[in-house]
Amino acid sequence: MAVYTHITDEALEAFLSDYDIGRAVAFKGIAEGVSNSNYLLETDKGRFILTVYEARVDAGDLPYFLGLMRHLADAGFPSAAPVPGRDGVALRSIGGKPAAIAMFLQGMSATRPDAALCREAGRGLAWLHQAAADYPATRPNDLGHEHWRAMFAPIAGAAEALKPGLAATIWGDLEMLERRWPADLPLGTIHEDFFPDNVFFKDRQFAAAIDFYFACTDALAYDVAVTLNAWCFEQEGSFNITKAQALIAGYEERRPLSAAERAAMPVLAHGAAMRFFLTRLADHANPAPGALITPKDPLEYERKLAVHRAGIHLFGFS
Amino acid sequence: MAVYTHITDEALEAFLSDYDIGRAVAFKGIAEGVSNSNYLLETDKGRFILTVYEARVDAGDLPYFLGLMRHLADAGFPSAAPVPGRDGVALRSIGGKPAAIAMFLQGMSATRPDAALCREAGRGLAWLHQAAADYPATRPNDLGHEHWRAMFAPIAGAAEALKPGLAATIWGDLEMLERRWPADLPLGTIHEDFFPDNVFFKDRQFAAAIDFYFACTDALAYDVAVTLNAWCFEQEGSFNITKAQALIAGYEERRPLSAAERAAMPVLAHGAAMRFFLTRLADHANPAPGALITPKDPLEYERKLAVHRAGIHLFGFS
């Protein structure tokens, strides 16, 4: 959760004067998103979310993200369509920071999704991959596997402080991941943060996805692996194979995985756990100044790494 | 702003099963209130605010607060009516904490209210005092003038650390306030936190007041003094007498002040500044563990105290 920027009523009024969406009748900061400030904006014409992009998001990437949101909405994928100003431009600024308005989406995220919801999540992820397939823009995955060594080097000491011996274990993982990382898997636009808080359900059916600010171009199966890690571990740390199979089955209703994608899944999931371990460890080692969020526990993903290190037989072979 | 309690979807579903307000279709933590967690709750039947009361609020006071909210709504004062469960009870619990649902209110608060909005605020405050006049319950003001010495004693060192010499100045103020505090002013139910964030406007007219969790029984004119301090100081620290006169004129449209109330206003305003200085200093000296809010600057009210110490001639006499 995060609300960093205080928006005055004058600033809001000036900002809205460039839109054709009426006048504000309610405006509240909401606890959603970790790298942006989000506000519920109600006008006499409808309800919207105003997002103010904080320093953590590279402003140069915003046209890619907003373009993707526009593309997905146009393709019929249930997500928040950006609302352009009168001049047709969606990316604007408020209080000197980049900002954009999107439609308000109904839907509830699931705190502890069961296997049936995991299946729905898988179906939603495949739908997203299909809807984004002809999005023409690309963005390199700056948190992708080629970067993990460089991400770990400055925080190896923090890993060791967390748990003696962990730094050597991580270096070993990184070496293995480099050696075994699959080449030539189908690429596409991936969400890369398809976590339960970013997925809405309605009547236990997939209803929408939000928060596309990690989206990038990478292997589609890697996005499945990120999602498996986010949805299929139990709180006590075990991997729930029933949920994982349900998630994959839901995914394959829309987009069957190739044999190469299936074979790569264990190493992709190990790598996906590494990516979140590394960013959480970095946040833990260097908490953002002024952030109102408590850094997420890096040890959660250290435990997931350990599970993958021991090996998960997802499809009857590892 | 504050969202302290994480509510799972299962907990919310169980909680809502005691109400007749439909099923949740959207649920978001909002940045409103400093001592509670607040959530925008949308169901298929309407929109509501769910408030979860954190440790800072004395649970024994909640029936008084919710009863007042009910009383005000029944009296036609624009505020959020509590929504009872099927059994007629508004105060319930979620995740082991007291909680209540109220109607969602439209309206925007003003960041930098001008004199016309100060007048509207004054009118709204008098309306509140009148609507609450026959509320039968009472609550002693546990942050009232009799408590200020006891509140200051443990944090006098923190005052001194903030600004050398400040502790002695505050003790001097407290002595003067005790000596000059008016007796026999008309008592009633006061809001005691009628700050700009707790007041909504629509089309530049007073539209509603929220956040009754400091309400108590005290001198009505003291509530006017709290409100003057909150609305009529400029950011650079000066007291804007035009705004103050507008606020009082708005108040007197509905409830004229007596000669004794007018004569007492400078000392009441000095005391009201003391009360907020003391609570902010206490928060600054002992920040709440796990609080997501930045403690408000105690020096803001130290500067207001200094202005009152020098004397404001509100009504042509001090």
| CA atoms of A161 and B229, how far apart (whole Å) | 49
Nearest C-alpha in A relative to B204: A25
From the list B28, B110, B202, the residue facing A9 with the nearest CB is B110
Q: What pLDDT was estimated at residue B318?
A: 41
- pLDDT tens column, B111-133: 999 999 999 999 999 999 999 99
Cβ atoms of residues B81 and B48 within 8 Å: no
- Indicate if B214 and B78 belong to the same structural domain: no
Residue B299: count other Cβ atoms within 10 Å of its Cβ: 17
Any domain includes B161: yes
Which ranges of A29-165 does DSSP label H, i.e. alpha helix? 62-74, 115-131, 148-152, 156-162
Cα separation, B37 vs B16, whole angstroms: 17
CATH number of the domain to which B224 belongs: 3.90.1200.10
- Asked whether the beta carbons of A119 and A190 are under 8 A apart, the reply is no
pTM above threshold 0.80: yes
- pLDDT (tens digit, 9 = 90+) per residue, B232-248? 999 899 999 999 999 99
Q: At residue B133, what is the residue type?
A: A
For residue B68, the enclosing domain spans 9-103
Structural domains counted in chain A: 2
**How many residue pairs from chains A and B have C-beta atoms closer than 8 A?**
74
Q: Do A304 and A157 share a structural domain?
A: yes
Contacts of A285 (CB under 8 A, 6+ apart): A155, A158
Please check whether residues B180 and B219 belong to one and the same domain.
Answer: yes
pLDDT (average), residues B211-232: 97
Lowest mean pLDDT among A14-18, B5-9, B54-58, B114-118: B54-58
User: Quick check: is A3 in a domain?
Assistant: no
- List residues bridging with B206 in a β-sheet: B201
Residue B32 lies in a domain: yes
**Do A145 and A267 fall within a single domain?**
yes
Both A54 and A76 in a single domain? yes
User: Does one domain contain both B97 and B130?
Assistant: no
Residue at B240 is within a domain = yes
Q: In this structure, is residue B110 part of a structural domain?
A: no
Residue B3 domain-assigned (yes or no):
no
Whether A26 and B108 lie within 8 Å, measured CB to CB: yes
Per the domain annotation, does A174 fall within a domain? Answer: yes
User: What pLDDT, in 10s, does the model give residues B163-204?
Assistant: 999 999 999 999 999 999 999 999 999 999 999 999 999 999
Instruction: Give tens-digit pLDDT for A202-249.
Output: 999 999 999 999 999 999 999 999 999 999 999 899 999 999 999 999
Question: A167 and A267 share a domain?
Answer: yes
Same domain as B196, residue B68: no
In angstroms, the separation between the Cα of residue A233 and the nearest Cα of chain B is 17
Interface check A313 vs B, CB under 8 A? no
Q: Express each pLDDT in B72-103 by its tens digit.
A: 999 999 999 999 999 999 999 998 999 999 99
- What residues have CB less than 8 Å from A163, skipping those under 6 apart? A299, A302
Task: Compare CB distances from A25 to B8, B25, B108 and report the shortest one's residue.
Answer: B108
Domain final residue pick, B103, B131, B152: B103
The answer on B83 and B193 residing in a single domain is: no
Residues A152 and A268 placed together within one structural domain of the fold: yes
Last residue of a domain, one of A47, A70, A103: A103
Q: Are residues A124 and A251 in the same domain?
A: yes
The closest CB to that of B27, out of A28, A108, A112, belongs to: A108
Distance between CA B318 and CA B314 in Å, rounded?
7
My answer on whether A119 and A90 are in the same domain is no
What CATH code is carried by the domain that includes residue A25? 3.30.200.20
